[in-house]
Amino acid sequence: MPKVAVYDIAGKQAGEIELNESVFGVEVNEALLHQAVVMQLASQRLGTHSTKTRGLVRGGGRKPWKQKGTGRARAGSTRSPIWVGGGVTFGPQPRSYAFKMPRKQRRLALKSALSAKLTEGELVVVDSVNFEQPKTKNVVQMLNDFSAASSKALIITADIIDSVEKSSRNIPGVKAIGSQGLNVYDILYHDKVFITKDAVTRIEEVLASWQMHAIF
């Protein structure tokens, strides 16, 4: 099992922790990571684009001119798709872009993302993250102590901590989430991932226990 250092929020080492190899030490599957990111971004698309077909455009009920004898091309409606102001042929209609991945693939993608960050040295385990009051300067000081002030940072706690979330929201590129909101896109998007010991335990309970159930 990979063993990593545990730091306090001041950037000083406070101990070590052994990470579950089945969660933080899997082979990185880039194709699966790509699919998971596309799935997540596709589900965020509104899909509200809409165009009017010739049947939806107002007007055009009367034949513009008689069929024969005018010298002009025959026409049955001013709302034909070939007319200016007419309907649109095969235009976009409201739709959902969301699609689903099997649960096994989604969890393997999470493991791949966490393992990739650990391999790159961008995963930092901290003893705990909590502030008495929500103040932006608390997170700024924490990032400075880890020499990550100019990095996009993700802070993962076991549960959503109000003071941490509010202290992070005003800093561009910094985000705080609970372990239940863990997702592949956020892990890969941010340069540094700070994760508390409690969050590590919570994540390993879910992903590693699922691995055992899959085996047996």
Length of the chain: 216
Number of domains in the chain: 2
Confidence band, pLDDT 50/70/90 cuts, at residue 209: low
d(C-alpha 161, C-alpha 172), whole Å: 19
Please report whether residue 31 resides in a domain.
yes
| Average pLDDT rounded to a whole number, residues 71-79 | 94
Query: How do 123-126 and 3-7 pair as beta strands?
Result: parallel
Q: Do 120 and 56 share a structural domain?
A: no
How large is the angle between the packed helices 197-215 and 103-119, nearest 10 degrees? 130
Q: Do 60 and 138 share a structural domain?
A: no
Q: Do 86 and 18 share a structural domain?
A: no
Q: Do 37 and 60 share a structural domain?
A: no
Please report whether residue 78 resides in a domain.
yes
Residues whose CB is less than 8 angstroms from the CB of residue 58 and which lie 6 or more positions away in sequence, other chains included: none
pLDDT at residue 212, rounded to an integer: 41
Its domain, for residue 15, covers: 3-46+101-215
pLDDT at residue 3, rounded to an integer: 84
d(C-alpha 147, C-alpha 28), whole Å: 27
Q: Do 137 and 203 share a structural domain?
A: yes
| Average pLDDT rounded to a whole number, residues 52-76 | 93
- Select from 91, 111, 146 the last residue of a domain: 91
Please report whether residue 96 resides in a domain.
no
| Average pLDDT rounded to a whole number, residues 89-103 | 95
pLDDT at residue 117, rounded to an integer: 94
CATH number, position 10 = 3.40.1370.10
Q: Do 170 and 77 share a structural domain?
A: no
Mean pLDDT of the chain: 91
